[in-house]
Structure 1
Amino acid sequence: GRGREPRPAPCAPGGLDVQAAPLLAARPCQRCAELRQAGPQARRVLPGVGGAGRGEAPRLRRAGGGERRVGSGVLFRAVASGSSARLREFKPQELANLGWAFAKAASREAELLRGLADEGVARAGASAFAPQEMSNLAWAFATLAFTAPKLCRALASQMEGCFARLKAQERANSLWAFAKLSVRAPKVFRASAIRTAAGAEDLAPQNVANLAWAFASLAWCDAAAFHALATAAVEKIREFSPQGLSSMVWSFATASFRDLGLFRAVAAASAASLGGFSGQGLCNIMWAYASADVQEPELHELLKRRFLEACSEPDVPSLAPASLRGLSVDVLGMLWALACLGRLDDRFLRASSGTLARIGRALGGPGPAAIAPARGGGACSDGPRVVADLGDRLVICKPAEWEVDDAAEVSAGFSLSGYLRALLPRRRFPITRDGESQCGFLHRLDVPSTGLILAAKTYEAYFDLQAQLHAGLMAREYWALCHGWASQAPREVRAQVLARGTAAGAGGYSPPSRVAQVGGRRCATRASAVAHAVRHEDALSLMFVVIGTGRKHQIRAHVAHIGHPVVCDGKYGPATYPSDAAWCPRHFLHRHRLGFRDAKARACEVSVPLPSDLLNALGSLGARGARSAKALASVGRQGYWHVRQSDCAPLP
């Protein structure tokens, strides 16, 4: 599905306190106007101010004596203005302290940070920073979520030469920062994994959680390091905060390390500290147990009840948009996890659907207007078309070479969001311009693929459909022509899939996903052959496919994994691609049916036949036996082969 997976905010370290006592003890001593000229003297002001936190306004001495209180924002803006042009005068420790203080005060002064990053690159290149200074500078930029890849790479390069001198917290903070900024530092991560594997007993619980989170976030799945972290965590499990507990199991589930000892220890500790979890923390723990397929019935029931209580606490209409979206991710994550664990009941489904409806109304705009669906039963070959309009939601048939995008830069083909925006005016349908809500689209299809796409015209409809998708109540069925004679008995493939890259690059190329036991995501595909065919000496199967999850390239990766790659698929069937391309114009994958519910909870089913180019390819095949001939003829005439309703049911 298109819903985002839960991703916990890591247990953010506080940074290492600056060691120079005079700097910590210093008080602001000049007016803001004088501070603008202070240059490096600002270092004597900021550590004390930053360390005090945002809630306490700093004191400034008046020129004529006495003190007055000023807002910390005013002070930090003044210091940023005075320091930006004079950073070369700062010593390495002063640069690190400056960044540390601004991060402590959550003061995100872009001009200063850009200058600090540039100066930091030069100093790191000269190996000027001490280990703690490197760690604090990386921590500061990560805490402020200020992307500075050149600085991070320069710091990582200097760390490589002095890694043995980094203390445990400095290692944990540095890796946390690199992971939070999505900066890969392979040599530093490798050295840290080796050091961690040798023993993690010197790590505080927060550092254990942050190292696990950093490794998992950047898919650095070192078995020995994760084993050492699990051992250390179990020994110190009672010292973990609720956020640390959720971060640990999220990290192990994400990296596909199913350490049952750790999951049992976290279950016991979580049950004992249930009141300390946020809604996000509850969701992350449940998601982790579902992803790792670990059953802890008592914990799951406790988490479910506590989550319902947490969802009823906030006044949804009064929440800011970012908080509304965060709450929706938590609710959808809980729905998915409970469905996977077999613990989703009607009460939770009704309550969560009600919360999502309130979120949709709080984000939403005017009501929908109907669009006349295109007439005729033929598949769309020339351009997209609306095949069903249900008031607040619609179904579009996507042709090949159209991309289901989120209104960002289109990497290949034509933009389906552009088509939707042309249909639906902005004032009535703001969701079609909202990339954070996927412009209303519920799922994707690969650019060469064809078939049905479900889209919402309102936020309330969007979250209703997302709830159906995450709860496993939506049916998605496909035709795929594959190599080999596959079994006609339904086969379920549950191999985990690791998506390498989320967006296509130059020329529309997107790295292939792959089946991976380590680092992969839980997914399910059910496939069966409805017809066997031949073309020259090639054995082929027309496959009926149903998915229970929507990972990137899931069907293509799964059928290739069981030895039946899709015809004309250069990514997953490169050996046969050149010969396939001579008779099949693109990979043979078509979503022909969607099953879902409308705004009044009535069951809806939409199907569309194969497009003409795939029908022509299918017509060039010879059937293997009478049953296959009948099936191929039926698909060729109607684009739909009758399948019993039980076979079409969505996966749990």
Structure 2
Amino acid sequence: MAGREGISAAVAKLRGAVARGKSLPGGPSSEARVHLSAKSAADFLVSAEVLPQLEPRQLALTAWSLARLEATAGWDTDEASGPRALTASLRQRLEEFGPHELSMMLWAFAAGPGKASQSTGGSSCGRMERRKELAEMLAPEALRKLGEASLMSISNSLWACTTLRVLPALPGLCMAAATRTSTATVSELSPQSISNIAWALALSALSDSDGQRTALDRAMSVAAETALRRTSEFRPAELVALSWALATSQASDSWLPRDSEQRRDVAMSAAEAALANNPTRQGVRLLAQAAWACANFPTTAHSRPLWSRLAEALQLGLQGGCRSTSSQDLANGIWALAVASVAHTDSPSFSALAGEAARRSDFEPRQLAACAWALASSRHRDPAWLKALERSSHRVLEEFQLSEVAAISWAWAASEAGESLIEALLPRAQQLLEGPRTSRGGPGFVEALLQLAWAGSFGQVSRASSLNKLIQDCLLREGRLRDLQTRGRMTEPAAMLAEVTTHASNSPTIVVNKEQQGFVVLHKPVHWEVDGADTVGGSSRPIPLSGYMQIQFPSRPLLCDASAGGGFLGRLDAQSSGLVISALTYEAHLLLQFRQDTHSVAREYVALCHGLVPDSLHEISLPIRVRAGASSEVHASGVAAVTRLRVLTRLSQQCGSSTEDYSLVVLSILTGRKHQIRCHLSHVGHPVVCDGRYAPQALQSDLKWCPRLFLHRFRLEFLGLDDCKIEASHGLPRDLQDVLRRLHPRSRTRISEEVLSLWSRGDSLPFHEWAARSNGEQKLLVVSSWPASDLAAWRRGILAAVASSLDSLRPKPLGQSPKPQSHRHPQGH
């Protein structure tokens, strides 16, 4: 029988070999001696004579050491019969192990090597499966002894079972970890345990009941609070892992955290820690993961310098060793920069990342989709990247999931790269939609369907019609399912309903009531906000339109669903007025979203602009960059936006000794970017009257004769759920009619006076009729995208075109229509 001292010495040798790893002093010969000694100790410990003599802790340490040496030193423990005997001994003596020993072994099994490399073939996969089997054997015993376990033991067990996907153990471990984290003392909350628990909770996302959601959300809050108080105690990797978990839970449908700013601060601290780390491959990975986490929170002016540093650091990391940077890290970095709106076509850092992406041929489907979306939304259309995208997409075509097909189809269409790739992708999308129902559903399912619909519609792909019918059926089915799931659900009255009832004299009105089809069209007066059903009332805020809808239709759960925008389709600025579609059911909401994304909803406006808009200006197609909390702007890195317009009449008024000129225009939008009409008109030198955001220099003088922004959505046209045409119109509100009566036509012609009289009475005609009445003799002017470097020349060209058109203005009789001209421009979703 082996002596106790000999067993302890053998265990110590194994642990020593683990501690030293591969970095041993004295070179390869020293390393070989240590490994030889450790192998001898391992053979001794798992021998038939010694194994039964091991105490529970010694047996656990032996299993732990062998697993760690397999991971760090490349030991192939499958070569010996010892591991089989060790496994049998573990199974027989499970009840002897305490929570610490069980968690220690689980952690070691999960920390081993992952996917098989080319050099090892399938052996690594085989070892991983064996480690999962060992974990599945230990996990039930670990669950049974959770009451005796420390927070660190629970953390290790949860991390291991999440890593190895030991699914039966996860619900119990998640709840235990969440509950213990919420009540743990400061000494128990170590950085490693907090990081591991948060990571596993975010990845598992098993919360279904309100109780589970509350426990998990509280655990995340405690983790964020601890990280902010004790940032200096966290290693960069721990802080980045925690920020990833907080960002993942932030974006999850199952979590609605109230401490978003605190979680964002953790992500920014993690980014700072990653920036301070050495620029090794691990450093690049931390940078990419930290950037990904930050991108899931709103970008503020305060965080922009941090984003610039992240972009530069990622570029430097690539230059220092681009071949060793994983494709996952590259995709994370590109995606994050695009989401944060710091990815520009003229940014050296972003261009370097995009150039590296074009050289990669090993992107997995999800990584490829992330890069495609990011580069397209940042207006990066480098031919080398588009060729690489098409080539890689064909390589992994059969591996694509629906969300990946949708993202790449959207990106390809938005890049105006032709139909070739979309033609290849749509059959895969159809295959997935016609396949088993298990391949459908999930939080991104609806978004993917709408992206596919937009891509096929914009690209005018011939195969899109059959797919669109399938998409429409899926959306209707998904909508009906959501209606069934929410039927009878009662919600508490919103806090702002009392505020709504005090504005009865200026209330919205329902123009088209199709409650039986699940939607209405209403007129939104000025100072009412098309909010998302989660608005907090306050004297400084506009009146929430969702409150009015909840009063009118109190039994409609959709109207209280902030994730669905309260049922509204499209937005209107609070300072403007006009028609808004409001769905009452999820079925109607999803179908009308489909109609809108396939350009089947006509949205028409009337605006009074400063200056003399030329008759020939029929379209403005300029990309718009939308930034949270800031004005939109025309920018090369923005998303495509198309506004069509016709000049109705030119007006003027005497202001002191000078005469001010204005143009009354009717507009129709193909895209619905934030402040699109206001941004476009201001950019071409004709801002809307009383637009304090885009023409602040004229606001005070405008307010002397115009009470508010002169922009009104007067008409909507679309197909209802029964495929019958719905037309809704609402003339100019009285306050805007009064403004027009103060103005005079620049030229006293029958046309000008008829137009002014028509709109002053609040009457209107559809956009296509106004377009038909435009004169077709003048050259059509389309304001389209110009390189940012030639912006001054572009402005000079616009001014010259305007001057030329004004010189040739002549009053024309009504009824002459020009020959239609088609101009297609890229759009974003």
Q: Please, what TM-score do these two structures have when normalized by structure 1?
A: 0.82
The 1:313–1:381 alpha-carbon spacing in structure 2 relative to 1, beyond 3 Å, is farther
> How many residues are treated as equivalent by the alignment?
591
Deviation per CA, 1:494-532, whole angstroms, max 9, x where unpaired? 11112222xxxxxxxx632111111x1111101121100
Larger radius of gyration, structure 1 or 2? 2
Partner of 2:271: 156
Which residue does the alignment assign to 1:634? 758
Deviation digits for residues 94-125 of structure 1 (CA, Å, limit 9, x no counterpart): 5444544555655784444333333322332x
CA distance in 1, matches of 2:614, 2:641: 21
- The reply on whether 1:451 has 2:589 as its aligned counterpart is no
**1:294 to 2:442 alignment:** no
- Report the CA distance shift for 1:271/1:616 in structure 2 as closer, same or farther (over 3 A): same
Indicate how the Cα distance of structure 1 residues 423 and 49 shifts in structure 2: closer, same or farther if over 3 A, else same.
Answer: closer
Counterpart position of 2:651: 533
| Cα deviation, residue 477, structure 1 | 1.0
**1:467-490 Cα deviation digits (max 9, x unpaired):** 221111111111100000101235
| Cα displacement string for residues 38-73 of structure 1 (whole angstroms, at most 9, x for unaligned residues) | 254556545544432233x5xxxxxxxxxxxxx333
State the match for 1:406 in structure 2. Answer: 532
In structure 2, the residue matched to 1:175 is 291
- SS of the residue corresponding to residue 289 of structure 1 reads helix
- Displacement of 1:252 after TM fit? 0.7
1:282 positional shift: 0.9
Q: Which residue of 1 aligns with 2:330?
A: 208
User: Which SS does the other structure have where 1:86 is aligned?
Assistant: coil
Q: 1:579 aligns with which of 676, 697, 701?
A: 701
- C-alpha separation in 1, matches of 2:279 and 2:702: 54
Q: Structure 1 residues 212, 629: closer, same or farther in 2, change over 3 A?
A: same
Cα gap change, 1:339 to 1:93, in 2 (>3 Å): same
Where 1:88 maps in the other structure, the secondary structure is coil
Relative to structure 1, the CA distance from residue 574 to residue 186 in structure 2 (aligned partners, 3 Å threshold; closer, same or farther) is closer
Displacement of 1:186: 4.5
**Structure 1 522/183 Cα, relative in aligned 2: closer, same or farther at 3 Å?**
closer
TM-superposition CA deviations, 1:584-609 (whole Å, max 9, x none):
00010011111112233222322221
**1:319-349 deviations in whole A, cap 9, x for unaligned?**
7xxx366322222211212222222653333
Cα displacement (A) at 1:292: 2.5
Deviations 1:287-337 (A, max 9, x none): 112222222x22111212221222222549x97xxx366322222211212
- Indicate which of 438, 445, 448 corresponds to 1:327: 445
TM-score with structure 2 setting the length: 0.66
Counterpart-to-counterpart distance in 2, 1:167 and 1:292: 32
Tell me the residue number matched to 1:140. 245
Matching residue of 1:397: 523
Separation (CA, whole Å) in 1 of partners of 2:587 and 2:200: 42
Look up the equivalent residue of 2:350 and give its one-letter code. F
Partner Cα separation in structure 2 for residue 396 and residue 90 of structure 1: 54
Deviation string 1:204-232 (CA, Å, 9 cap, x unpaired) is: 11111111011111112252222222222
Question: Judging changes above 3 Å, is the alpha-carbon distance between structure 1 residues 523 and 50 closer, same or farther for their aligned structure 2 residues?
Answer: same
Q: Tell me the CA shift for residue 629 of structure 1.
A: 2.5
Q: Distance in 2 between matches of 1:331 and 1:493?
A: 28
CA separation in 2, counterparts of 1:156 and 1:42?
A: 28
The C-alpha deviation readout for 1:592-641, integer Å capped at 9, x for no partner, is 11111223322232222111100110110011111323321222234215
Matched position secondary structure for 2:726:
strand
Contact 1:36 1:79 in 2 (8 A): no
- One-letter code aligned to 1:25: A
SS of residue matched to 1:639: coil
Partners of 1:179 and 1:218 within 8 A in 2? yes
Partner residue in 2 for 1:382 = 506
8 Å Cα contact 1:483/1:540 also seen in 2: yes
**In the alignment, what sits opposite 2:739?**
617
CA 1:201–1:492: 2 relative to 1, 3 Å: farther
Using the alignment, how far apart are the partners of 1:229 and 1:628 within structure 2?
A: 55
Tell me, yes or no, if structure 1 residue 85 matches structure 2 residue 181: no
Whether the 8 Å CA contact 2:579–2:713 is kept in 1: the answer is yes
> Distance between the aligned counterparts of 1:153 and 1:462, measured in 2?
36
Match of 2:365 among 231, 242, 249: 242
Query: 2-side partners of 1:309 and 1:132: how far apart?
Result: 41
Per the TM alignment, residue 92 of structure 1 is displaced from its structure 2 partner at its CA by 4.2
- Specify whether residues 154 and 197 from structure 1 end up closer, same or farther in structure 2 by C-alpha distance, changes over 3 A only: closer
RMSD across aligned positions (CA)? 3.3
Other-structure match for 1:438:
565
Cα contact 2:365–2:396 (8 A) shared by 1? yes
Residue number in structure 1 paired with 2:456? 338
SS at match of 1:477: strand
State the secondary structure of the residue aligned to 1:405.
Answer: coil
Which residue, out of 697, 700, 719, partners 1:597?
A: 719
Is contact 1:51–1:105 with CA below 8 Å preserved after alignment? no
Distance across 2 between alignment mates of 1:211 and 1:362:
37
Cα 1:325–1:130, aligned 2, differ >3 Å: closer, same or farther? closer
**Separation in 1, partners of 2:569, 2:158:** 47
Letter in 1 for 2:697: A
- Higher helix share goes to which structure? 2
Q: Residue 356 in 1 paired to residue 475 in 2? A: yes
CA gap 1:576/1:264 in 2 versus in 1, 3 angstroms: same
Distance 1:396 1:74 in 2: 49
1:260 shift after superposition: 2.2
Q: Is the 8 A contact 1:53 1:105 kept in 2?
A: no
- Corresponding residue number in structure 2 for 1:67: none
Contact 2:335 2:371 in 1 (8 A): yes
Cα distance, 1:36–1:628 mapped onto 2, change above 3 Å: farther
2:226 equivalent to 1:119: yes
Tell me which moved more, 97-106 or 452-461.
97-106
Map of 1:270 onto structure 2 = 393
CA contact (8 A) 1:159 1:188 kept: no
Q: Which residue of 1 aligns with 2:172?
A: 74
Contact kept, 8 Å, 1:404 with 1:445, in 2: the verdict is: yes
